[in-house]
Amino acid sequence: MPLSKRVKEAIKTALAMTIAYYLALSMNWPNPHWAGFAVAVISLSTIGQSLNKGIMRMAGTLLAAVFSLTLIALFPQERWWFFTVLTVFIGYCTYRMAASEHQYFWNAAGFVAAVICLGSLPPTENVFNTAILRILETGVGILSYTLVTVLLWPSNTQGEMIQAARELTATQHGLFRHFLRRLRGENDAEDVHAQRIQQLQQFNRFKSALAAARTDSYEVWEVRRQWQQVQAWVAEVMDQMEKWRESFAEVETLKLTHLLPNIDDLADELDARMAQTERMLEGEAPERTPRAIALPWDREAVGALTQFQKAALAVIRNRSLKLEEATRALFETIADIKGFGPEQAPPAPAAVAGPRLLIDRDRLMAGLRVMLGLWLAYLLWVYTEIPGNSAFVIMLAPFGMAVATMPMLPLMAVLIPAIVSIGFAGVLYIFVMPHLAGFAALGALLFAVTFTVCYLFHAPKQALGRAFGLMMFVLVAGISNEQTYSFLSVANTALMFPLVFIILAITANVPAPASAEKVFLRLQRRFFRSIAFLLTTMPWGITETPGPIARWRRAYHLREIASLPDKLAAWGAAVDTRALPGTTPEQIQALTTSLQALSYRMLELLDAREAPQAALVKRELLADVRAWRLRVLEVVDAWSKQTASEPAERLRAGLDTRLARLEQRVAETMNRAPEGALDDGDRERLYRLLGAYRGLSEAGLNYATVAEGIPWGAWRESRF
């Protein structure tokens, strides 16, 4: 009977723990528990280890060793400067690991630096030797875990990557077919929210597997640039498909097959193209190659539409063509990798250039929380007699980093594994360990305990508690070559747990409460403040070039509105609706979907505004566009302050009036335009811009309608 992944991962961790202790004890190192400590921490973020992760961790350990020895040499007797520089380094590692592809590198660097530096205190004449021992002890733990996970049941990262790509493209194909049925007006009641979440999870899994396969597989390394392009084009297909879906509501009343005669042919081509992409990932040659299909509109049929209907048609036509471009590039890139296509794959989609130094507020706060927690623990250690001494401060580093970078994980998830491990370790320490003779018996005990903890607490949500439990067992057992036994040792070590938990709880709620609904409200305020700022930067008539600070602020707010919807969705899923009467998970899901739509529409408007408009259009429509913009800005400003906004129906009536006026002015401008003043390109850009205004208004009204049904007062109430 084959072993489950749960059993295999537990065996790997248990075996790594046993080997780490065996090596440390064999070398007669004075504190072998640091090797076990390292195994416990490294297992925190590892499921399906690869050589790439092991290399990253060893490189992080090397950086931590160099940094720690330098720090000890610079400040051997100045403890305040010593700890200040150390906390800044660990805070920086936390900031980088929260979003870096090399998160394992930064995780190991921060944790190992804490072990080496704090484990070498107080400074003595042998401080350098002590630091070297900490490096060796910690390195043995990390190396043991890396080798075990790479050599025992090694995962085929190339196969995992290909499988992840297959699953991702299959999900995208399924979503496309669902969206296509909606576009054609077919009755499809299927709820695709779960599929959209699955698509994002599969994309993240594909990214992770690709990062590992570049190191583990020579075949992948040879075509690594093409695989990076696949990742970029898959992300582009995801983005364009969502934008394409968002444009459906405005064309529901239109007969697209009359207005865009080739729309069905294009849709069938995209459907077949996605199927052939899946076929190539299965290793089979495609049965057909992409066909170029133009998407002209029927001028006579379009001429009978209103201005806003023309605008909506221009938007969906533009998005259909962008989706065609993304799927074609994805097909050709995979064909190039598999040897079924041209020699040169198309380049990845161009990234938007912007200021390089953009601070992520959430990652910055994560780093500052870790630094605060370390300082609280350090001050307690310096001015009071706390149990554990330096080990107490060291524990705050890995767990502070984990909690800060996984803020949605409830701290209560740590309690049960930690309590179980402390009690279990105490019983073993007092009643079992004194009767063991030789490493054979001790190794069996280590293997059994580690396997049990990892097997019982195997779920991803229990990762923090699992690692905490293993660390408490290592510290309570206090294994060394000269073993002594004392109940006070168990009691003192057990007392560290509530102190660490209290500090983590304090820092998690700095500078504001960390309950999911409060965080959701804060992120929502930030989202609307960013929209308000961008609305103030887009009036026509500004001729001066913005300075570097203005460009930096604009880039910052652009990234905010692009990234915050995903964070809002994650925090929305963590909201406990049982404590919020009148709020259901479906309402929160609808709310986050409406915020995502607002993000897409705002970015679409900014993109449309970048296109050059004819001087006649700017002159004739300036006043009406300004009136619309100021009205929208007023509403968004109220949302950003979370003050009472106008009812959705009143908002709709007011915005419909302004949009009707704008549509009338567009029609008058078109009719009065001298011959040759507006070419086809000018008209198409104007229709696209008009559709972007309409789309943003509709997305805002949709948010207002959903938000009206949520009792925000209950969300703002303080809860303990």
Tokens of 374: 């370390």
Of the candidates 337, 1, 11, the residue with the CA atom closest to the CA atom of residue 149: 11
Tokens of 717: 């109430």
Average pLDDT over the chain reads: 83
CA dihedral of residues 423, 428, 430, 436 (deg, nearest 10): -170
Alpha-carbon span 96 to 99, nearest angstrom = 6
First and final CA of the chain: distance in angstroms?
49
Of the candidates 278, 277, 304, 301, the residue with the CA atom closest to the CA atom of residue 289: 277
pLDDT over 50 (residue 401): yes
Of the candidates 381, 484, 349, 507, the residue with the CA atom closest to the CA atom of residue 429: 484
Domain ranges in the chain are 5-155+359-508, 157-338, 516-716
Average pLDDT on 256-285 reads: 91
Q: Does domain 516-716 have CATH number 1.20.58?
A: yes
pLDDT over 90 (residue 526): yes
The dihedral through the CA atoms of 611, 612, 617, 622 has a sign that is positive
Is residue 48 within 8 Å of residue 37, measured between CB atoms? no
How many angstroms from the chain centroid is the CA of residue 296? 39
pLDDT tens-digit series, residues 34-67? 888 888 877 765 444 456 666 777 788 889 888 9
Listed range (110-114, 374-378, 686-690, 706-710) with the worst mean pLDDT: 686-690
Is residue 73 within 8 Å of residue 62, measured between CB atoms? no
Question: DSSP string spanning 535-558?
Answer: HHT--TT--SPP-HHHHHHHHHHH
Most confident of 484-493, 586-595, 622-631, 691-700: 586-595
| Coil, strand or helix at 134 | helix
pLDDT over 70 (residue 510): yes
Do the domains spanning 157-338 and 516-716 agree at the CATH topology level? yes
- Judge if the upstream peptide bond of residue 387 is cis by omega within 30 degrees of 0: no
pLDDT tens-digit series, residues 454-467? 888 887 677 777 87
Alpha-carbon span 592 to 221, nearest angstrom = 39
pLDDT tens-digit series, residues 672-709? 777 666 776 777 777 777 778 888 888 888 898 888 88
Alpha-carbon span 245 to 319, nearest angstrom = 9
Burial class (CB in 10 A: 0-12, 13-18, 19+), 263: buried
Q: Does domain 157-338 have CATH number 1.20.58?
A: yes
Residues 6+ apart with CB under 8 A from 549: none
Size (the chain), residues = 720
Alpha-carbon span 479 to 484, nearest angstrom = 9
pLDDT over 70 (residue 1): no
Alpha-carbon span 81 to 98, nearest angstrom = 26
Of the candidates 369, 266, 362, 367, the residue with the CA atom closest to the CA atom of residue 316: 266
